[in-house]
Amino acid sequence: MSQIQTGLLVLLLTFLGVVGYNVYLSEVTPVERSYSEFIELVKENKIKAVHLKGGAVVATDLQEHSFSSYIPDLQTVLPLLKKQQITITAESDAESWGGFMKSMLPIMLILGGYLIFSRNQQGGKPDFGKGKGKSFHPKKKIDVSFDDVAGISEARLELVEVVDSLTNPEKFSTLGGYIPKGILLQGSPGTGKTLLAKAIAGEASVPFYSIGGSDFVEMFVGVGASRVRELFTEAKRNAPCIIFIDEIDAIGGKRSGGNASGSNDEREQTLNALLVEMDGFDSDETVIIIAATNRPDMLDPALLRPGRFDRQVTIALPDVKGRRKILEVHAKKIVMARGTDLSDIARSIPGFSGAEIANLVNEAALMAARKNKTAVDTLDFEEAKDKISLGLERKNVVINEKDRRVTAYHEAGHAITAKLLPDTDPVRKITIIPRGRALGLTQQVPLDDRYTYSREYLINRIKILLGGRVAEEIVFAHQTTGASNDIVSATDIASRLVCEFGMSDALGPVAYSQEQDGFLGGTTSSKPYSEKTAERIDHEISALIEQCYNETYELLTNNNKFLHKLAEALLVNETVDFEEFEIVHQCYINEIKIEENLRHKRREG
């Protein structure tokens, strides 16, 4: 019988016991009468005996019928009972409570039996402090190898010797060296930290314990520490093995000194237990602890010292070669059309993590299935990428013609500014079809991965962001709220350029903000400068944005015909891709040449 069936049976028996007890009480409990009726029957000499229980009384009449009542003042009634020669018996409140306990004994026995049964089912140990089931039942067979890990070759090479230490420990011990006890995998979400830990266990063919950091945290103080000790005891029995703790920052955060409230007692006790267990391995116990986090800045320094997490491996986002390899791994799981260029797809998704690439491949397969295709082609990947990066198309949104024209010129302003300025990312697609919360989008994709940014690139990026607002003012002589996000982004770049990157001509190479952040952000900044300097910073940021705005205005004014041509193309086609954008640009260049030739002929004639 399963535990669920046993629990339901116990609940049913308990319910029946309570019902039976209530029926029993209704049968044996005397009818209740008022105090005045009781006194009247006593005076008429119709009461044979009374039984007193505190202030309550059970009276028996001459016909042997019983009823109950309540006596507010027993001392005034006793003389009357003695005068009528009524038999009086009494019991204390404790005896009454004992009778109640006797009547509840069957129900208590049923519940007690269920608790004993549950205890035996758990091997004689109570449930409190016991880890989650998956934590203490290691996987003996992991169907993941290093062949399934792509795009992070440097991190993979760093961990190959861990596999060697598990399969061939004598290789290191003969030279007097020892393998790191703990390995911390740190990186952005979706970069493959968990997959890499599974690959190590799969390559070494050893038991693999996988548990989340939050699984140790409970509301009862001491439960997390108990789970840590039990996990490590179980792991030592199955050595060599691997313990993988995902999101270790849930229990490994920095301890706060002088915490009077005790609100973090449970987490800190769990961390202390983890620190002690990581120090307690014997030399013959090959237990490797691998932990993963995307917030290494939050971890307690005691965890990161040598002897605990000796090795810290940073897993960065894959470059273009890594993205290509990850695409190849996931493309094996779907039916690919011939001629699909994975290299081109890899170049078009800079900044994608391994998890996002896996999602891209799946979305492309779903796109092809919706169209009843027999294979996934490049167009499906393009649509899937646009859905993930730009949002779902909202083709059913009804937009009036005036707003469509404003959006078309706005996006044309972005695209033309990006096209005509040097050191910018090429425009890949322009659309006025609403996606997500935006009415239109201009997509730029870099030709290569960028790791540093020049001042010219950042300045031109501000101009591109302001290009939409400038185009609106040139054509319609008014402003709309459609440029709000662009202005926020432009201001952020200008602020970082002045305060963080030290690229201001007026203020020089000085950092005016001190920020600390992890992979997920969460920045904390200080202000190590005076109010006078703050005024200079504000003035410099405003002057930089104003200068970019004026130069963008001049650029689009000088190329007014190009702006109108592209906007009209967007109003007709709604979406303009890279090739179509180049055609519009070439037509504009040809018209300029024709006009120059005509002007030249007029001057000669």
Do the bridges between strand 241-246 and strand 287-293 make them parallel or antiparallel, or are there none, so unpaired? Answer: parallel
Q: Sheet harboring 66-70: ordered strands across?
A: 31-32, 66-70, 56-61, 47-53, 87-91
- Tokens 């010292």 locate to 305
User: Which H helix or E strand runs over 292?
Assistant: strand 287-293
Long-range CB contacts (within 8 A, 24+) of 396-400: 397/434, 399/434, 399/439
User: Which H helix or E strand runs over 49?
Assistant: strand 47-53
User: Which H helix or E strand runs over 546?
Assistant: helix 531-558
Distance CA(54)–CA(45), nearest Å, equals 23
Residue 411 catalytic?
yes
Distance CA(583)–CA(566), nearest Å, equals 10
Distance CA(99)–CA(53), nearest Å, equals 12
| Residue whose C-alpha is closest to residue 205's, from 247, 157, 156, 238 | 238
Please list the residues that pair with 56 across neighbouring strands: 53, 70
Residues 6+ away with beta carbon under 8 Å from 47? 38, 41, 59, 60, 61, 62, 84, 86
End-to-end CA distance of the chain: 107
User: Which H helix or E strand runs over 370?
Assistant: helix 354-370
Q: Are 523 and 515 contacting, i.e. CB atoms less than 8 angstroms apart?
A: yes
Q: Give CA 14 to chain center in angstroms.
A: 42
Q: Are 541 and 495 contacting, i.e. CB atoms less than 8 angstroms apart?
A: yes
Q: What is the dihedral of CA 494, 497, 502, 506, to 10 degrees?
A: -30
Instruction: For residue 264, report the phi and psi dihedrals to the nearest 5 degrees.
Output: -105, 15
DSSP 48: E
Q: Are 444 and 461 contacting, i.e. CB atoms less than 8 angstroms apart?
A: no
Q: What SS3 state is found at 437? A: coil
Rg over alpha carbons for the chain, rounded to the nearest Å, is: 40
Amino acid at 147: D
Set 158, 356, 382, 411: catalytic member: 411
Please list the residues that pair with 52 across neighbouring strands: 57, 90
Instruction: For residue 243, report the phi and psi dihedrals to the nearest 5 degrees.
Output: -105, 125
Token digits for 341?
Answer: 């260029």
Do the bridges between strand 441-444 and strand 514-518 make them parallel or antiparallel, or are there none, so unpaired? Answer: unpaired
Q: Which residues are identified as catalytic?
A: 411
